Structure 1
Amino acid sequence: MTAPHPLTSRLQGLLQRVRAVDERHPRAWDLALTTFFVIAALTDYASSGWRRTAQNMDVPDWLLICMSLGFTVPLLWRRSRPLTALLMTVPFSALNGWTGAILQAALVQGVVVFNIALRRPMRTLGWAAVMVLAPLVAGAVRYPHSAWDWQFGPGLWVFALTALLGIAVRSRKEYTDSLVDRARRLEVERDQQAQLAAAAERARIAREMHDIIGHNLSVITTLADGGAYAAQKNPDRGVQALEAIGTTSRQALSELRRLLGVLREEHEDQQTDDQPTRAPQPGLADLASLAESVRSAGLPVRLTVTGTAPAQTAGRELTVYRVVQEALTNTLKHGGEGASATVDVTYAPDGITVTVTDTGTGRDGAEGRGITGMRERAALYDGTLEAAPLPAGGGWRVHLRLPPASEDPGTEKPENRTPDT
């Protein structure tokens, strides 16, 4: 875009200052404008300038003064009651034509017409045209020897030009107001989108923290309780429990560092030695190690995989991993003594199916926060999740189904994408 011309910039600055004065002191501005036209009309009378266009030179002075004031004083109400102000000038306009004075002050009616076009409905301009042009008939009837274009021309042109100018200014004002309103609505929408994105991000972080901390702390607690009991009879088993606790703790710390590291705001050009390693999040290949860690905590787990795992996005793999992790964690925490779990993973053309069942007896049918998180994860990829107690013999069943990648609604949404790279 090219810079505006200096003269245009000066004119715009002057108009802005005039508008600012008008907005701060509207009544003072109306009074000043009315005073200006009153002085101009009386000056035209005093200098006998009206005689150049008059049809009758013998009009009394007092009548000329009254008509000059009758055309200009109503400008005080040009903004608040423009149609009333124009109606106040009609008798003086008719008198102006009938006496043959043809005062130039009658052209001040164009200022009122401009305000009617700017502030009143468009149909009002029809009445304004009647009030401006009808009184001119009186002059044409009284002085028929004068040309009709001389009688109607100035009034008609003033009405047409001021009405068009008012319509143009009004259209531009309405267009500017619509742009301002649109910008305001876009700003509100942008803020709402930012708030929704922040809420979604907080929910995602809370879900990840719950899965990481809840699972590993459950494993550590179980190992600590079992190790304390075993150490009294078999110190070697106590040492194994301590080693398993250390391994689980380091794994939990590693996952937390990875999650928090990608959330830290960093500039791309700042590369330091203590920068967190952004390793991939757990996926399908880590289900075996997950089952092994749960076994080390004392819960027998049998993992069965059917079919060949197709290429998946990191987010889909993480969803399967977290669902299995949460289901086993719930069994570990609530299954009771002697509980065992079975994990069946099936890769088929119609999608991925995961079923986790256990033989625990320590839970009721209530759903907790973890199950809600599993449902949210499945819903991100148009998947379904069922979690409920088994109908007979106790235990619990969690069933997850994810459709094929081709059935997904598209790529991962930015607000739901996991920090996996």
Structure 2
Amino acid sequence: MTERPHAGSSLYEDEAVTEPHPLTQSLQRWTQRVRAFDRRRPLVWDLLITGFFVGAALVDANGGWRNTAPNTHVPGWQVFLMSLGLSVPLFWRRRHPMAVLAMMVATNLLSNWTGAMLQAALIQMIVLFDIAMRLPLRTLGRAGLLMTAPLVVGAVRFPRDSWDQQILPNVWAYALVALFGIAVRSRQDYTAALVERARRLEIERDQQAQLAAAAERTRIAREMHDIIGHNLSVITGLADGGSYAAAKSPERAAQALEAIGTTSRQALSELRRLLDVLRDDAPATAERSPQPALTDLDQLIDGVRAAGLPVRSTVSGRPDSIPAGRQLTVYRVVQEALTNTLKHGGPTATATVAVSYTDHGVTVEVTDTGTGSGGGAPGPGNGDASDRGNGRGNGRGLTGMRERTSLYDGTLEAGPLPGPPGGWRVHLHLPKDSETP
């Protein structure tokens, strides 16, 4: 055996890789080729094996058997037939192993009874090996007892030395062949188990990859919904408000156009940053902009106000040590709640955003006085009817908010306020002691 240490790896600097000996590699390659040929053409292989041993048995029947036989006067035709009986059945050993063994044992029983004691009886060991590889152990035990019967008959009919010297060596040979067959069978079962385990692991790996891809697609769809939905709602509100003010106050119209340009550029920048993640050829050193955080809430609220929705915000407590993931969740929930108010609150709607930081986590409540009719703030259009539902509650936005909240074991409540005056309420709570995913 040769050992080759890993190069350039500190993890394995004290270990060595053991390579198989060239002779072992050659033997493994030869064995694999033989097995592959056997699997492709089993009948051809059986014919080759059977033909070889039939030839060997007939060569021994030509006169060599007299060198070891206690009775050399057995007729030649009988020796020829017994040689065929001990070799020809080998062809059916895989399909009917016990029947083949019984036929060969009967022939061997006749051989020992007559005193020929043909060496072709050793071919029985091939059948015994197949039985050890393929059949239950209790069948192997019966096969061993069956093969011992001719040995006892020969020892009784033609005693030469002590009975144990005539029987035990053959029994030991049978036992070694059976053990070898069991060892090969165990090795094959172990290899098959490893192959099956590798197949299952490969399937599990593919399933995990598919789940990860699905989760990533969901995350990207959620981000795109939040980015595009909010910014388009703001742009629509600004455009409608600007067209309304153009006739009476050109300066307000110019401000609306400027705000539209700013919001559009911001939305385009966020969308490009998100889509860059999907590019296979994206450079590793590409610029990475930070995700929105709690410090960006004021800018978000100012943009909604510019779109025509009056928003009052209050903050209590201090956002000490709130992880970035929770900050993004709070930001997106507030963004989605205000976007829905822009879409569906009606022209007279107002909104209130209350953020509270405590020792137990962060709580956000967004309420509005919208009628839920889909009229929007000064003209943001009707929006997506799927977001409206029974007032706004059945669309992708609410689903995205719930998914984000569940990542941090938080709670989210969304629903209409009792009227009059009515309106809509979104309540979010993220516990401080929840584990960061």
Give the TM-score taking structure 2 as reference length.
0.89
Is 1:24 aligned with 2:52?
no
Distance in 1, matches of 2:279 and 2:91, equals 64
Q: Is the 8 A contact 1:56 1:100 kept in 2?
A: yes
User: SS at the partner of 1:54?
Assistant: coil
Distance in 1, matches of 2:344 and 2:72, equals 112
Partner AA of 1:198 in structure 2: A
Partner AA of 1:8 in structure 2: T
1:155 maps to 170
Q: Is the 8 A contact 2:276 2:282 kept in 1?
A: no
Per-residue CA distance 1:270-292 (angstroms, 9 max, x = gap): 65xxx4x3121111111111111
Q: Is the 8 A contact 1:309 1:347 kept in 2?
A: yes
Q: Is the 8 A contact 1:107 1:155 kept in 2?
A: no
1:229 maps to 244
What does residue range 2-401 of structure 1 map to in structure 2 within 5 Å? Answer: 2-46=18-62, 48-266=63-281, 271=285, 275=286, 277-363=287-373, 364-365=390-391, 366-393=393-420, 394-401=422-429
**Per-residue deviation at 1:262?**
3.9
Distance in 2, matches of 1:76 and 1:292, equals 90
Partner AA of 1:389 in structure 2: P
Distance in 1, matches of 2:43 and 2:401, equals 67
Q: Is the 8 A contact 1:305 1:345 kept in 2?
A: yes
Q: Is the 8 A contact 2:415 2:425 kept in 1?
A: yes
Distance in 2, matches of 1:291 and 1:191, equals 44
**Per-residue deviation at 1:391?**
2.1
Bigger drift between 373-382 and 148-157 goes to 148-157
Distance in 2, matches of 1:261 and 1:355, equals 33
Distance in 2, matches of 1:70 and 1:118, equals 23
Distance in 1, matches of 2:56 and 2:211, equals 63
Distance in 2, matches of 1:266 and 1:134, equals 77
**Per-residue deviation at 1:296?**
0.8
Distance in 1, matches of 2:289 and 2:29, equals 58
User: SS at the partner of 2:137?
Assistant: coil
Q: Is the 8 A contact 1:38 1:69 kept in 2?
A: yes
Bigger drift between 153-162 and 225-234 goes to 153-162
Distance in 2, matches of 1:355 and 1:96, equals 100
Q: Is the 8 A contact 1:295 1:301 kept in 2?
A: yes
Distance in 1, matches of 2:65 and 2:371, equals 110
Distance in 1, matches of 2:165 and 2:120, equals 16
1:418 maps to none
Distance in 1, matches of 2:179 and 2:326, equals 64
Bigger drift between 253-262 and 168-177 goes to 253-262
**Per-residue deviation at 1:145?**
4.7
Of all paired residues, the percent bearing the same amino acid is: 65
Per-residue CA distance 1:298-326 (angstroms, 9 max, x = gap): 11111111111121222111110000000
Distance in 2, matches of 1:43 and 1:184, equals 49
User: SS at the partner of 1:352?
Assistant: strand
Q: Is the 8 A contact 1:261 1:278 kept in 2?
A: no
Q: Is the 8 A contact 1:262 1:278 kept in 2?
A: no
Partner AA of 1:27 in structure 2: L
Distance in 2, matches of 1:188 and 1:94, equals 54
**Per-residue deviation at 1:266?**
5.0
Distance in 1, matches of 2:337 and 2:282, equals 38
Distance in 2, matches of 1:38 and 1:60, equals 19
> Unmatched 5+ residue regions in structure 2?
1-16, 374-389
**Per-residue deviation at 1:21?**
1.9
Partner AA of 1:209 in structure 2: M
Q: Is the 8 A contact 1:132 1:155 kept in 2?
A: no
Q: Is the 8 A contact 2:362 2:431 kept in 1?
A: yes
Per-residue CA distance 1:323-358 (angstroms, 9 max, x = gap): 000000000110001100111111111111111000
Per-residue CA distance 1:364-418 (angstroms, 9 max, x = gap): 34421111110011011111111110122210000111111x322xx43xxxxxx
Partner AA of 1:217 in structure 2: L
Give the TM-score taking structure 1 as reference length.
0.92
Partner AA of 1:250 in structure 2: R
Partner AA of 1:169 in structure 2: V
Root-mean-square deviation (CA, aligned residues, Å) is 1.6
